[in-house]
Amino acid sequence: MSSSRGASAAARALLSRASAPALRPLEEVSSAARLGTVAAGAEWAAVSPWRRAWFPWTRSYRPGGAPASAMRRVGVPRILPEGEKSESRGHRAERLRRARIRHEVKMAKEKAREEVESEAWVKERARLENLANSSRLTHRAVALDPDATVPERDQRCVRVGVVGVPNAGKSQLVNTLVGSQICAVSAKTNTTRVETLGALTRGDAQAVLLDLPGVVGPEHYRNPTHATKVSSAWAAAAGCDLLLFIVDANRQARRPDPRVVDLLASARANLERLKYTEVTGLSMPPAVLALNKVDLFRGTEDREALKRVARELAAVHPFEDMFPISAAKGKGTDALLSHLLLRAPRRPWDLPPSAVTDKSMIDQAIEVVRESVYRRLHQELPYSIVPVHDSWTNFDDGSYRIEQTLMVDSVPMKQIVVGTRGSVIGQIGIRARTVLEKMFSRRVHLVLNVKVRKKNNSLRGKARTTEYELY
């Protein structure tokens, strides 16, 4: 029985082979399939899978014809549109990479330009320039009028010490009042390392603003270097004619900072100790309170909270006057500035009327780069980076070429600062160059290098200074 079944199956197989058409070689079938005809596609589909798998390019087989990859590998040229040039995969990948980099640079420039244009000091400078150029201006600022002069016997000058806890907005306020970027500003604490002097002249009066590092109590000192900075800040404030205490009113209303109350409570004792009141009889300078960031208050409840904060702080320390301001938006700063200028005693000016700071242009450029580093990098990394000036070149077209080096402590830190394909250092340079061009009103070519500090804590003989030690 089994033998008869086997014989019948063999007979049927023999008959089917005899009736089926002879299969052409696989090379002929694949060549015909590349022509794109329907018959060739059907014949190619009839080829058994194990025979199609013999060719590597048949793994991505498409019904109705050979795959496009097969045409490329075999050598059949692709028909290109008119005007289009053929390119390899590597060339296309490189073209896309360069296009992506150009797009990222363009977006970074636009973002930096928008951030700089929204700064309060930029708006204040534009407003003063419009006033100086207006024919309706009756009371011109001497700093904006080169032809105006004030005799030395009629000059008045007031030295104002800007005091406050870290992140209160001291540097932002100084930049807004003087109309230039002379202090580094960032959301990180202890951005101000050393005392920075800013000045502005209006009429016969000049206000010299001394931006001091954040002042805290001894229990908040991080190391001896931090303690030295706080002591130097109090010493500088003791030699001023007027003290301007800056308080973050928004933070104080929602989550009170105990350092603010401690600062105001200990201010008199610290200043009288430094001025040797018991021996010389000199009393501490008068104080003015500025409640900053009032633009964050909304509604009646917030206004009541602001009044409550003002009453609480007035009970801790006697103030001549209080001013609600917004240093970032430039609101309320005109009234504060008018009060400071009215308090100016009869004394020759400390700086020329056109000067906004005693820093050189090189120091201002270093401060701008340091601010960009603080804004781009995070955690403890920016505190250990020190910008070092390398060269300054003036071109015939009026532009500047500034080259600086960012000194880091280790190779991994250098890799973070440089970033992937130089993306991080590129963003730092783009923002710094935008600010410098706005400050100097001319084109700036900024070149930034990143180098690792040597074991002897120096780079080309330039050691890390004490004011840039870690907090």
> pTM, whole model, 2 decimals?
0.75
Contact predicate 402/444, CB 8 Å: yes
Given this model, what pLDDT does residue 279 score?
Answer: 56
Query: And the tokens for 164?
Result: 């406050």
* Tokens 């015939």 belong to residue: 396
243 beta partners: 161, 287
Given this model, what pLDDT does residue 76 score?
Answer: 54
Per-residue pLDDT at 32 exceeds 80: no
Instruction: Output the CA torsion sign for 217, 218, 220, 222.
Output: positive
Query: And the tokens for 261?
Result: 């109350």
Of 122, 112, 134, nearest to 330 by C-alpha is 122
Per-residue pLDDT at 309 exceeds 70: yes
Q: Categorize the per-residue pLDDT at 302 as very low, low, confident or very high, splitting at 50, 70 and 90.
A: confident
Q: Could you tell me which residue, 26 or 406, shows the higher pLDDT?
A: 406
Given this model, what pLDDT does residue 282 score?
Answer: 67
Q: Categorize the per-residue pLDDT at 280 as very low, low, confident or very high, splitting at 50, 70 and 90.
A: low
Task: Give mean pLDDT, residues 207-226.
Answer: 87
Task: Give mean pLDDT, residues 364-373.
Answer: 94
Given this model, what pLDDT does residue 133 score?
Answer: 72
Pairing of strands 287-292, 322-324: parallel
Residue 292 φ/ψ, nearest 5 degrees: -90, 160
Task: Give mean pLDDT, residues 147-166.
Answer: 87
**What is the distance between the alpha carbons of residues 471 and 223, in angstroms, rounded to a whole number?**
7
Q: Categorize the per-residue pLDDT at 390 as very low, low, confident or very high, splitting at 50, 70 and 90.
A: very high
Per-residue pLDDT at 21 exceeds 90: no
317-343: per-residue pLDDT in tens? 889 999 999 999 989 999 999 999 999
Per-residue pLDDT at 373 exceeds 60: yes
Per-residue pLDDT at 90 exceeds 70: yes
Compute the 3-state secondary structure of the chain and give helix, strand, coil in percent, each to the nearest 5.
50, 15, 35
Contact predicate 149/199, CB 8 Å: no
**What is the distance between the alpha carbons of residues 290 and 165, in angstroms, rounded to a whole number?**
13
Task: Give mean pLDDT, residues 345-354.
Answer: 91
Per-residue pLDDT at 429 exceeds 80: yes
261-270: per-residue pLDDT in tens? 998 888 888 8
Convert 202-256 into a string of H (helix), E (strand) and C (coil): ECCEEEEEEECCCCCCHHHCCCHHHHHHHHHHHHHHHCCCEEEEEEEHHHHHHCC
From residue 150, give the alpha-carbon distance in Å to each of 131, 134, 147, 187, 246.
Answer: 19, 21, 10, 40, 32
Given this model, what pLDDT does residue 19 score?
Answer: 47
Per-residue pLDDT at 464 exceeds 80: no
406 beta partners: 387, 450
Q: Which of 147-151, 177-181, 424-428 has the lowest mean pLDDT?
A: 147-151
Q: Categorize the per-residue pLDDT at 66 as very low, low, confident or very high, splitting at 50, 70 and 90.
A: very low
Given this model, what pLDDT does residue 326 score?
Answer: 93
386 beta partners: 407
Per-residue pLDDT at 47 exceeds 90: no
452 beta partners: 408
124-140: per-residue pLDDT in tens? 888 888 877 764 444 44
Contact predicate 440/395, CB 8 Å: no
Q: Tally Cβ neighbours within 10 Å of residue 387.
A: 20
H-run or E-run covering 446:
strand 444-452
Given this model, what pLDDT does residue 64 score?
Answer: 47
Average pLDDT score over the chain: 80
Given this model, what pLDDT does residue 267 score?
Answer: 85
Query: And the tokens for 451?
Result: 């180098």
Task: Give mean pLDDT, residues 21-37.
Answer: 49
Q: How many residues are recorded in the chain?
A: 471
245 beta partners: 163, 289
Q: Categorize the per-residue pLDDT at 78 as very low, low, confident or very high, splitting at 50, 70 and 90.
A: low
Per-residue pLDDT at 292 exceeds 70: yes
Task: Give mean pLDDT, residues 387-407.
Answer: 94
Alpha helices per DSSP H over 343-422: 361-376, 411-418
Strand, helix or coil for residue 469: coil
Residues 6+ apart with CB under 8 A from 459: 388, 405, 407, 451, 453
439-452: per-residue pLDDT in tens? 999 999 999 999 99
458 beta partners: 463
**What is the distance between the alpha carbons of residues 422 and 416, in angstroms, rounded to a whole number?**
10
